[in-house]
Structure 1
Amino acid sequence: MNASRKIEDESASGGEGVPARRLDALRFVGSGLVRPECVLATASGDLYTADWRGGVAHTRPDGSQTLYAGAAPDGLALKPNGVALLRDGSFLVTHLGAEDGGVFRVQRNGQVEPWLQRVEGLDLPPTNFVVEDRQGRFWITVSTRLIPRALGYRRSCDDGFIVRVDARGATIVADGLGYTNEVAIDPSGNWLYVNETFGRRLSRYALRADGSLGPKQIVTEFGPGTFPDGLALDVEGHAWVVSIVSNRLIRVAPDGTTKVWLEDADAQHLAQVEAAFEAGTMGRPELDGIRSRCLRNISSIAFCGPDRRRAVLGCLLGDRLATLDMPAQGVAPVHWNFA
């Protein structure tokens, strides 16, 4: 990997070029969703999104929807951010509370129970993402230990971490990350990729057979306007990175070069966000006050369709999901064939 190579050769700030034309080809699915930050797709055409009504929203191919939600223990107002579909049809969701976090299991009948709340003696701070690998291990990310987490919207943020959960229990396997966001494991099972949102980089770790990680390698570093959040891999070895604020979808080649595939941003607003980021004052107004044509702060990506040559995008501010055709087939997630 060559971390110094950074080529965004189809950037379209200002609304011109190939990415802008792709906006015209977007289609939208779902309605009435509440902060569908994380999206999952299955072979049957079902879509599942984290939903701030306290659970997981299920959007079927015919457009019908069901919300799986219930009362969390101790009256906790569950704020799902990441979601993982389990083999029995239930879900793990990460709780992105104002001051607390953890991972909860949500059943389709509305039952909610804690699944992981502490690791190595630490109460989990607001928790970002969870995914299962093909060995049945779970990988969980915490973006920052800072409370409120907006204090981590800084280039200096370096306290994010990754947790592995397996038969031996829960262990912090990587620390010192620049606002840890989504992770993805490549089809070989040899690499774990991670987005560092305010570190502005895509990194990876060698994944050993025992679940331990090698030293961090930087795949690529992103420039102004890009804050990497969502992550998925295609069968050609590329990573697809979703940027909040700029509504960018970026394809990252194995050698670390990048291509902006989609963008929906206002140049003046991006300049204001950049100024706040460089000044160390970036906060919720910069994240929540985006100006765009049709995308509402995209935050995640899942390959979908019978051949996984289409993608669906989760978002922070919208109530529906954008979909678009893709140039390569996506890697099938572990849950692809779950009922």
Structure 2
Amino acid sequence: MGETSLGRSLLSGLSYPESPRWRDGLLWISDVHNFRLKAFDSAGALRFDLPVPERPAGLGFLPDGQLLIATALGRRVYLVTGIGGEGPTGALQLVEDLSAHTRGLLNDMVVDRAGRAYVGDTGFNLGAGEAHRPGQIFLVEQGRTARCVVDDIDFPNGMALTPDGGTLYVAETFAHQISAFTVRADGSLSQRKMHARVVGTPDGICLDAEGALWVATLKRGEFQRIAANGRLLEHIDVTPAHSVACALGGPDRTALYLCFATVEDDGQGGFRRQGFVRCLPASVAGAGLP
């Protein structure tokens, strides 16, 4: 598509690009409805491609560079092996099976600098038409039993941690808000508060060095940059597409990656999805995690 006001077209031909993560020169993406984990270089060339039969969801890098992935349908957390090897190959190694404890589907994830993974449980399976019920956030730590640290959150989606690791932001999709939690020394969460109201249904988020959050607003088709006081600072319109997720990456974290998708009825009770990623210069560099 070339250069436009939306920046440079980096990727197309995806299904529903979620949970973008920048690491060591590569952009990692859960290509959700193609059931694949993919990584691309800054020119858009495919560098890693792994089938994920349980449907890929949240991604997060451990401090040593290993990658964790949550699966929506399997409701498990895996370690991705084979990263850094020759060719786009890899495998999944089970870290934690949360299927007996998850109410809905596993969704987005963020991993802190201690290697602790916060994983969202949607609370209900929206695609299957299940009744709305509260979701959860699990804390997964290697060598320890996973535990629920929040049990009453409204469809947890994108997550971000401040640079000091002291605050966790969570998009509550159907509450139309970003919530903030204080992270205690043991990884538990406390002092919950509403950080900002969101016009639209927030999905993926990322944090910048001024403390503002970029928020994908799903069916509203906007990426909104929202200040700590809730004021809308910038917005990028991708209608009629759904705005899905975003990341601040590149060598100095000044590249804003926008993940979005068109969703159309296929006339057979399902949907046709086409996903895209565009890249444009950010007004403020990224900060914190992911």
Matched with 1:307 is 252
Query: How many positions carry a matched residue from both structures?
Result: 269
1:195 Cα deviation after fit: 0.3
Task: Give the aligned CA root-mean-square deviation in angstroms.
Answer: 2.5
Counterparts in 2 of 1:125 and 1:26: CA distance versus 1, 3 Å:
same
2:236 pairs with 1:262: yes
Between 200-209 and 80-89, report the one with greater CA deviation: 80-89
2:55 pairs with 1:110: no
Q: Work out the CA distance in 1 between the residues paired with 2:22 and 2:285.
A: 14
Q: Work out the CA distance in 2 between the residues paired with 1:318 and 1:333.
A: 28
Matched with 2:8 is 27
Match of 2:71 among 92, 95, 100: 95
Counterparts in 2 of 1:87 and 1:204: CA distance versus 1, 3 Å:
closer
Give the AA of the match of 1:135.
A
Give the AA of the match of 1:116.
E
Counterparts in 2 of 1:149 and 1:171: CA distance versus 1, 3 Å:
farther
Structure 1 regions of 5+ residues with no counterpart?
Answer: 1-21, 266-291, 335-339
Match of 1:163 among 138, 156, 160: 138
Contact 1:158/1:177 (8 A) holds in 2: no
Contact 2:39/2:46 (8 A) holds in 1: yes
Q: Work out the CA distance in 2 between the residues paired with 1:207 and 1:125.
A: 24
Q: Work out the CA distance in 1 between the residues paired with 2:163 and 2:206.
A: 11
1:15-164 matches, within 5 Å, as: 24-44=5-25, 46-52=26-32, 53-70=34-51, 77-86=53-62, 90-97=66-73, 100-108=74-82, 109-118=89-98, 122-123=101-102, 125-146=104-125, 148=127, 150-151=129-130, 157-164=132-139
1:54-97 superposed Cα distances (whole Å, 9 cap, x missing partner): 33111112432134324x6xxxx321122223466553222222
The TM-score with structure 1 as length reference comes to 0.71
Identity of aligned residues (%): 25
Contact 2:116/2:140 (8 A) holds in 1: yes
DSSP 3-state at the match of 1:198: helix
1:124 Cα deviation after fit: 6.3
Give the AA of the match of 1:159.
P
1:110 Cα deviation after fit: 3.0
Counterparts in 2 of 1:305 and 1:111: CA distance versus 1, 3 Å:
closer
Give the AA of the match of 1:33.
L
Match of 1:201 among 162, 168, 177: 177
Contact 1:55/1:67 (8 A) holds in 2: no
> Relative CO higher for 1 or 2, CA cutoff 8 Å, sep ≥ 6?
1
Contact 1:102/1:126 (8 A) holds in 2: no
Match of 1:180 among 132, 142, 156: 156
The TM-score with structure 2 as length reference comes to 0.83
Counterparts in 2 of 1:149 and 1:138: CA distance versus 1, 3 Å:
farther
Give the AA of the match of 2:229.
D
Structure 2 regions of 5+ residues with no counterpart?
Answer: 83-88, 262-272
Contact 2:58/2:119 (8 A) holds in 1: no
- Structure (1 or 2) with the larger CA radius of gyration: 1
Q: Work out the CA distance in 2 between the residues paired with 1:318 and 1:146.
A: 22
Q: Work out the CA distance in 2 between the residues paired with 1:90 and 1:188.
A: 21
1:233 Cα deviation after fit: 0.7
Q: Work out the CA distance in 2 between the residues paired with 1:90 and 1:31.
A: 26
More strand as a share of residues: 2
1:119-150 superposed Cα distances (whole Å, 9 cap, x missing partner): 7x525642101221012111100112356554
Give the AA of the match of 1:138.
A
Give the AA of the match of 1:41.
W
Counterparts in 2 of 1:147 and 1:330: CA distance versus 1, 3 Å:
closer
Matched with 2:216 is 242
1:319 Cα deviation after fit: 3.4
Contact 1:137/1:165 (8 A) holds in 2: yes
Matched with 2:227 is 253
Between 230-239 and 123-132, report the one with greater CA deviation: 123-132
Match of 2:281 among 325, 332, 335: 325
